[in-house]
A = this chain, B = another copy of it.
Amino acid sequence: MKDIIFAYNKEKGEVFLKQLMGKNPLFTCVIGVTETAKIPGISAAGKNPELTDYTPPADAELLLFGKCKCISGVPVTPEGIPTPALITRAALKLADIPALVVSGGLKIKPQAPFVELGGSPGRDIRTGNAVEAVEEVIERAIIVGKSLAKTVDYLVVGESVPGGTTTALGVLSAMGVNAEGKVSSSMPNNPHKLKIETVKAGLEASGIKFGALATNPLKAISCVGDPVMPVFTGLVMGAADKIPVFMAGGTQMSAMLAIIKALKPDVLDNLAIGTTRWIISDKSADLVGLVKQIAEIPVLAINLDFSSSKFEGLKAYETGAVKEGVGAGGACIATILKSNGKISAKKIFIEIEKAYSQLMHSEVQ
């Protein structure tokens, strides 16, 4: 367990981990898109802004098949750094953890199985009218969460939504959480100023002041959120009534947490955030500072280290590129737990290198 860092609320975190040791999880990944990601400079989750529509379905395909179908190669940043779905896939494979993809709202459908809840792609939050049918979709997600809770011991919920930290800043601001300068980025140089301006424009367009929607998260999502949020939080709330849930992601998780706290605070005791060391050591963001403002839930991080990688694309994670996504950190922690600690972060790293090498090779052919 030395590979798991206790970043916040160690006491509860240790209890949480002990409870899940050797148990049988299901990994779910909520995918969706928002036009917000196409604002130049806001997201690196795609070779260029237009390609961000392909990143979530391609992540889903990589997760389920070990290779992408809707694009050649794998999703990369403009600098060519590969998607964290590689990490998630490798971890889940090692511990034989099943994965289920759930759509929040997509332009491109994955050529893979996914759960459909009727959500639509998100609009640019600067419209102040970002997400359709939030209430209906969240209700359906709750039903799925309840069903899944009857099948496994615990749930890990990850996400893939380019632009997701900006929409997180939007919802956190609408709900009165001080998040400016605290959300993370898939880029080494976090474009805080651009994110703040984008959110300000969205709040203005929807006529909402900072904190005005503290008790109305559904409206906060519909104004300045993204379509992954209702599905993610619905799954968590539906399942956490009965089983523990690992919220797997970076600073976006604080927005999810704020939404859940406002809608169903009694499940908070059944939650923890699982992320990566790269998020925790990110000096341009502050996950723990965000979580602290909302609820005292444990924050755990996998101590993955790519500094010895043979591949420049993976080494770049150590310089602050990508950091997290597709539930990578939570998936690694679940893998260690399911194996009762027999699978180490090092072993996951070796599996990632192997898989990435094979993918690079097959792409060249």
Binding site for B on A (CB under 8 A): 24, 26, 64-65, 96-100, 103, 109, 111-118, 136, 140-141, 143-144, 146-148, 150-152
CB <8 Å contact, A114 and B113: no
Q: Could you tell me the distance in whole angstroms from the C-beta of A136 to the nearest C-beta in chain B?
A: 8
* Leading 5 A-B pairs by shortest Cβ distance: A98-B147, A98-B150, A151-B151, A116-B116, A113-B140
Closest B residue to A69 by beta carbon equals B136
CB-CB < 8 A to A151: which residues of B?
Answer: 24, 26, 98, 148, 151-152
- Say yes or no: A64-B143 contact (C-beta < 8 A), given A26-B151, A113-B115: yes
Given contacts A103-B116, A114-B116, 12 further A-B contacts (CB under 8 A): A96-B150, A98-B151, A99-B147, A100-B147, A111-B118, A112-B140, A112-B143, A113-B116, A113-B140, A113-B141, A113-B143, A115-B116
CB-CB < 8 A to A113: which residues of B?
Answer: 115-117, 140-141, 143-144
Residue in A97, A117, A144, A151 whose Cβ sees the most chain B Cβ within 10 Å: A151
Q: Could you tell me the distance in whole angstroms from the C-beta of A120 to the nearest C-beta in chain B?
A: 13
Residue in A65, A116, A117, A148 whose Cβ sees the most chain B Cβ within 10 Å: A116
- Report the separation of the CA atoms of residues A116 and B114 in the bound assembly, to the nearest whole angstrom: 5
Q: Could you tell me the distance in whole angstroms from the C-beta of A307 to the nearest C-beta in chain B?
A: 33
CB-CB < 8 A to A96: which residues of B?
Answer: 150
Closest B residue to A115 by beta carbon equals B115
CB <8 Å contact, A109 and B118: yes
Closest B residue to A153 by beta carbon equals B151
- Report the separation of the CA atoms of residues A118 and B111 in the bound assembly, to the nearest whole angstrom: 7
- Report the separation of the CA atoms of residues A116 and B109 in the bound assembly, to the nearest whole angstrom: 10
